[in-house]
Amino acid sequence: MGGHVTRMAQPILGTHLYDTPRDEISGRGTDYVAKVMVVDDAAFMRLRASKVLQDNGHEVLQAENGADAVRQYAEHRPDAVLLDITMPEMDGLQALKEIRKIDPLARVAMVTAMGQQAIVMEALRAGAKDFILKPFQPDRVLGALQKLLAA
């Protein structure tokens, strides 16, 4: 048998974090790879937000409506969600409520156009942590993500 020790392979960057309890990663800001779901019925907006996130090292899931977002949240359990308010099939506010039923600690920021302040306030009362106005600036998306991950 001797004294030979086999060295275990190192995990791929970020993979170990998906099994780490949230309280252990919550203070790390965006120093790690986060799994982020971008939900918007407009493909252009999904792609734009996804590019900003991917360019900053994050893994991105996309959903085109609230119903798809709820299904994907249950399956993938992302670290954060950027959720459009106005969408077909299921709007963002209803999707937020359904996601929070699945995971009361879900980290969600609402994405909204100007003039939807009342809905944004309702979303914040329903558990959203932040909101992003369209058209968004890349720094605002990253700032919202950092706020979500610190929550």
Q: What is the reported pLDDT for 31?
A: 53
Please state whether the predicted TM-score (pTM) of the whole model is above 0.75.
yes
Task: State the fold for domain 32-150.
Answer: Rossmann fold (3.40.50)
Q: How much of the chain, in percent, has pLDDT values that exceed 70?
A: 78
Tell me what the mean pLDDT of segment 28-37 comes to: 71
Instruction: Kindly list the domain boundaries of the chain, sorted by start residue.
Output: 32-150
Buried b (16+ CB within 10 A) or exposed e, 77-106: ebbbbbbbbbbeebbbbebbbbbbeeeeeb
Residue with tokens 């309890």: 21
Task: Give me 20's structure tokens.
Answer: 């780490």
